Amino acid sequence: MRDDESEEEPVDIDGDSDENTGGDPDAQHRPSSSASHQYPPHFSTLNLEALGQQEDSGNRVGRSSTEFEIGQSFQSKEEVVLSVKDYSIRRGVEYRVIESDHLKYHGKCKEFGKGCTWLIRVALRARKGTWEVRRYNGPHTCLATSISSDHRQLDYNVICARILPMVRADAAVTVKVLQQATEADYGFRPSYRKVWLAKQKAVAQIYGDWEESYAELPRWMLGIQATMPGTITVLKTSPVQIGGAVDESTVYFHRLFWTFPPCIEAFRHCKPLVSIDGTHLYGKYGGTLLLAIAQDGNSNILPIAFALVEGENAESWSFFLSNLREHVTPQEGILVISDRHNGIKAALEAPETGWLPPCAFRAYCIRHVAANFALTFKGKDSRRLLVNAAYAKTEGEFYYWFDIMRTENPAMCDWANRMAYDKWTQHEDAGRRFGHMTTNISECVNSVLKGTRNLPVTSLVKSTYGRLAQLFVVRGQTAEAQLGSGHEFCQALVKAIERNLRDSLLIGTLETPGALL
């Protein structure tokens, strides 16, 4: 498993705000994942690194360091609360909430009665539907005495309003980056947990509610199957258990497998091998995304199938690989490249999944093998010898490196000999690897699916649809341009022909009598 994309860790979701905006109906309404709205560019953008972190003034709390005024109006109670907090944070002072309900909001300075008279009272104007400052004593007459690196009013609601444009531009932006941006803006450094909660709220506002997303997923799948016949979705649910009793009338999401018709058709024209991998999800409820990657003759990578599961284990891998075999890769003689995860091993060796020889074959990712090897045999030289032996294309070259390993430490050869040669060496792969010794093509898919691991489930699935649609358009336009220019072969093949031609000329020159004179 490879997780280079983010350092974020799941955090338990609990209340982290000292304020209650619950009385305001406006504050309760968040964009549902099922709402009809314009999809963020993130859904179909292939290169997210090109996205700038643009400001969105319509969703950001204004710099409320200036004083409030009697009669000043706000569109909602949420805007009132965020503005008062923003003002206090920038002033370096704190206040207490005296009253807060669906009609009014009243706060006083923490030092009220001890030399400071600052207070604010904001009330709802029912006829106008706006909130208005009815009383205000300001500015503060106390001094900012806080020496803490954090601020009590800098809760995740305030942080969410600050970081919303950044999350909208790139859902994969890390919590550390958001921490730094918040500190640069306010002068206080909030805790990792506060910022994590703020990011989850921002993602929910942009991409839909985390809980509603699970309910929307079956409906969206039915819709995509109706508009794109041939789309494969396999949704597995489990009944809820209450006090040891099973409630069959209520189910929860368990696993989902999906793929699209262009992916199925495209694999028929790809090399007969698939790279499988799993990667953690960094949303509110975690989980794992399993995926299968193919590669065409021009070295272009293509995700061909996906699954959302609870984690990597024998059951989840069996679910994924069984559906992959049935719906996407029914061809015989396919090679599967993966790490040596026990769950993958169990799934591939189960007769019902259809991955046993001669129907299919398995090979190990040499990078994972070398990483495990290095845990026992320290030093770069030891690892290099194993990798060189694995990459050797002939038996003679293989034993050249293997003999050096035996000379250095016979235990290294004993360790390697516990694996069948056809699983980890190139010279014994019968040509099935096509030169692919690692699952790096799975990691390269980050260029296509980067950032999706941070989204609610339905938005994640929608994102794979949008990204792949864009990918097929780009690849199609490239192929048409090459054909229109009179190119008969793909670029990778042309380069291979030219390289082989140069090598053959070199060999011919060396074999010519007197050529070295």
- pLDDT (0 to 100) of residue 52: 28
The full set of domain ranges for the chain reads 25-207, 209-333+343-355+438-495, 366-435
Residues of the chain with pLDDT under 50: 2-37, 47-64, 515-517
Asked whether 261 and 254 are in contact (CB, 8 A), the reply is no
Cα–Cα distance, 5 to 453 (Å, whole number): 9
Angstrom distances, CA of residue 219 to CA of 214, 215, 255: 10, 8, 16
- Angle, nearest 10°, between helix axes 175-186 and 192-207? 100
Cα–Cα distance, 181 to 270 (Å, whole number): 44
The sheet carrying 288-295 orders its strands as 232-242, 245-259, 301-309, 288-295, 273-280, 334-338, 360-364
CA 157 from centre of chain? 24
For 14-41, the DSSP string reads ----S---TT-HHHH----TTS--PPPG
Asked whether 135 and 120 are in contact (CB, 8 A), the reply is yes
Q: Are strands 104-109 and 360-364 parallel, antiparallel or unpaired?
A: unpaired
Cα–Cα distance, 144 to 166 (Å, whole number): 30
Owner of token pair 């993602």: 203
Who contacts 11 (Cβ-Cβ below 8 Å, separation ≥6)?
192, 193, 196, 197
What tens digit of pLDDT does each residue of 455-466 get? 899 999 999 999
Asked whether 154 and 89 are in contact (CB, 8 A), the reply is yes
Asked whether 314 and 346 are in contact (CB, 8 A), the reply is yes
Length of the chain, please? Answer: 517
- pLDDT (0 to 100) of residue 417: 96
Closest CA to 16 of 196, 230, 138, 246: 196
Peptide bond into 351 cis (omega under 30): no
Instruction: Report the SS3 class of residue 412.
Output: helix
Cα–Cα distance, 508 to 491 (Å, whole number): 26
**pTM to 2 decimal places:** 0.72
Cα–Cα distance, 87 to 89 (Å, whole number): 6
Q: Which segments of 92-209 does DSSP mark as H helices, in order?
A: 156-169, 175-186, 192-207
Asked whether 221 and 47 are in contact (CB, 8 A), the reply is no
